[in-house]
Structure formats: structure tokens, C-alpha cells
Structure 1
Amino acid sequence: MKKYLLRTIMVLIGFNCSAQSIATALSHDRKPDIREKPHIIEITTTTTYYRKNVTETLKTVSTYNIQNMLVSEIKYDNEENIKARLNFIYDSTNAKSITRKFETWNRVIGHSVEITEYVYDEKGYLIETIDKNVNNQPFRISSLKNNDQGYPIQLVLKELNSNFTGVEFASYDFDKNLVKISVLDENGKTLSTNEMRINFEERKFNDLVYNDFGDLIKSNGKEYEYKYDKFNNWIKKTWYKYLDGKKRKYQVSTRKIKYKK
């Protein structure tokens, strides 16, 4: 029986933003949801969630380097308190990240810090991630094996504090743009399998509809509307879903984009 990969990751290591998996490796250093040109300095995103009897508005401030890759991101709650902060350091190309620092603030556990180092082989393929605590001590290592095209086919995750080891395997169907990922426990028992798209920029799927700008407008019973600036970057996005046959708005994001002059 197939299960969602996220649920499996939570079974393996508990909820953790920096948890490495084949799915996260496939999206590693993925370009953000902006056009390649012109260069963007900062985006302030305000998102309002419309839930039953509750409306919540959150803010995110993101900065970018000369390759329009994310350098820093700060998330605020609805009272303008900082809840999380993310920082990346890149190599000389400004396109391949080598270090990530993730901080969170929580009323119960307080301030926490995790640092992730990314290791690459001579071809530039990601082969290892090392997660460290605030004292720069490693607590988790994820090792990857890649095929000749650089796609991960095996991941071995080791929790150093508990001697736990988990394994993932991936097989690819490039014609269908699908990857099948199997998650095994330390005894070799398959916990779950999951299929996902290899390349989310691929536009050939019948269940997805895109507009002329390449942005998704229909997917699995949901619809999306956009407003754009003069550089064709969206500055407002509205999410809709159908409930009892009626189209209902459940999320709206607006973006204030600062471009390099």
C-alpha cells in the first residue's frame, strides 16, 4: 500500500525541516518561483489563509543573489514575531549551495539552530549532507548514490545519536517523468513506496493545466489565479478549491518584489 513520502520521513526521523530524503535531493538548489531576469534583490510575501471560522496572515521576507538563488528567508507569524530564519552560503558560481543554517523560535522549546553542509563529487552531484547542531556537532549524515545522469538512486540516513539507519531506493521512468521511491527500515523491511514527478517543470501531464506564463492554473480539483508585474513575475496568487460544488477561496498570496536597479 502506497503512503505519502512525507509521512514516511516523519516515521523515520520525526518532523524536521532539514531532513534529507531522495525527494528533497531532487529539489535541492531548485530555482525559485521567479523569472531568470532581471535580478531580484528581495521579495516580501504576505499570505492569508482562509480556514473555517479562522483567518490567518503570515509574512515571509526573502533575499536573492546575482543568480536569483535564495540567500536568506525570514518567516513571521500573524503578530510579526520571527518564527524561522533560513540562510544559504553558495560556492563561487552562486548557484550551488554548500551550507545552510536554519533557525526556529518556539514558545515551548525556545530558539533552535541546525546547520547543514552539502558535499558534492567531482561532477558536481550531491553525495552527502551533514546536519549539525548549534555547537557544530554532527547528529545526522545522509549519503547518496547517483546514476550516470546525477539522479539519486540510493540514500542512507544515519542518526548518530541513536545509531538508527534508514534507506531509500529510487527507480526512474524518464519517459513518464516519474520516480518510484521505496523506504526501508534498518532491518530491510519496506515501510512504503511513493511515486512523484521527477521534473515539476514538465508540462505534458493531462491532470495539470498551465497558463501562457507557465504557471499552474488547474490541478486535482483546485484552481489558481495570478496577477503579474511588467517582468511577468506574479505579484498576487489566489488558491481555490471546490466544496459542495462551489468554488471557494482558501489562500491568497501577494508579493512585493524589489529589483536591482
Structure 2
Amino acid sequence: MVVIWNPSIRKCVSIVIPNVLTYPHGHTAIGFGVCPDTSDPKLVKINVNKIKIPYTWVVEVFTLSTRIWKTVYRGTPFKSYDFSWDHVSIDGIIYWHTVRFDERLWSNYIISFNLKTEKFGEVSLSERLARAYNLVVAKVNESLCLLEYYNEGETSVCGVWTKKDGINKPFTKIYTVKVEGKSVFYRLLGFRNNGEVVLEMEDDNDKGYAVELYEPSSGHISGVGMNGNATFSAMSYMETLILLHESNSIIH
């Protein structure tokens, strides 16, 4: 089940996801976004069938206004890809990080889905990013961003790559998040509008986690008073009236 929730107006709609694939038969990737033309929330479900190679996809789109699932693709558009759970939606386009193994080689790809045309695309990557071992898709200042986690000596760091001049331009590395004496592996939670990076760090006693702010130009970190025994997550947020005319319900 996916729950679309708008905390601004305290409305939510729960949508039952049919025909979910699980290991070893395949897996199901879900994406969420809003069509820029109609302001209609949409879910994109990609079933990757792994019974035989090349893997086959069945892609369905759920549009909230119609309350139905529509099959928009069935086939093998990008060969044998594995989808990560991470995805971002920017200007009506959903982006996923995917990987593929060819003759024991690891390759990263960024796959896009246009919510207006309901068509797939692919974002070009440099050789370095295509071969990066730990890559995460993210969003900074409403631009597509890639987080490259790697070791610099004995320190785990994160390179932040973004497309400064439009989606058709190559990714540019804008800075590296590096905290002396601490690992930032999969610790980057998000970005503030003022440029600060939100990190989750282990506390000095290794008994829990804390949310801290990282200033890219100085490398200085400061706490915000949020600590806990469990890990944190953070998402960007925009106030909207989506779901205003919906009632709290479950859609089967």
C-alpha cells in the first residue's frame, strides 16, 4: 500500500498496490510525482520480472483523478536493470538510480519517466559516475543531484554532483562532504535552501545518532538538538492544496 499524505490540509489517500513481485521472481519499484499540466498525483509501478534474461518490465501508471491503473509499457526497454528504492521527482519527471551487470562489470544508469508523456528516458553519465560503486539519486534546489560515496584514504566521504545548467548538460561536482574522523557513508539526508547539508552522524559514544548541519565552504558541522537511538530520514517539502477535495479513503 502507498499512502499519499498532505500534512498541510490533513488529508490522505491510501492506494493498494496490486501484483507486487518479490525475490526470486523479480521486484517492484514505485515512483510518485505530480503531473505539471494537470496537478494530478500519479504513481508509477515498474514490475521487473527476473525469471529469465533479458528481464522484462511491466509498467503501470495510477492517476488519482481516474482511480485506475493503466499499463503503459510491456517489454525490455533497458535490458537487465535493477532499480533502487531511491527516486526523486522534479518538474514532472521521476528519476531512478538503476544498475546493470554485464560480464561482471557494474554500470550505473539514471532512468527517467515523464509524467506528462508517460515515456521513459535515460540521463547520460560520465565514465566515473557510471562505474561508481555507491551512487544515490537526490535533489538539491529542485535540480537533479547524484551522491557519490567513496573512501578518501581511511575516511568515508560523499561527492555531490549536480546539473547546474539543465538536464541535458553533464553532471558537475560542486563539493565533497568530508567530516574529519567520522564516516559519512549513506549519512547525507538532504539540503537546506541556504546551502547547508543535513547529515546523520553517530554520536561520540556510539550509542545513537544525531542530526547535524554541514557547511560546505568551511567543513564545519553543528548539531541541531535532534538525537535518537534509531536512524533518521528527511525529505524536501512544499506546501500544496493537493488532496483538498479528497476524502480520507482506501482505494483498492
Q: TM-score range by the shorter chain?
A: 0.3 to 0.5
Q: What is the TM-score when the length of structure 1 is the normalising length?
A: 0.35
Relative contact order (C-alpha < 8 Å, sep 6+): which is higher?
A: 1
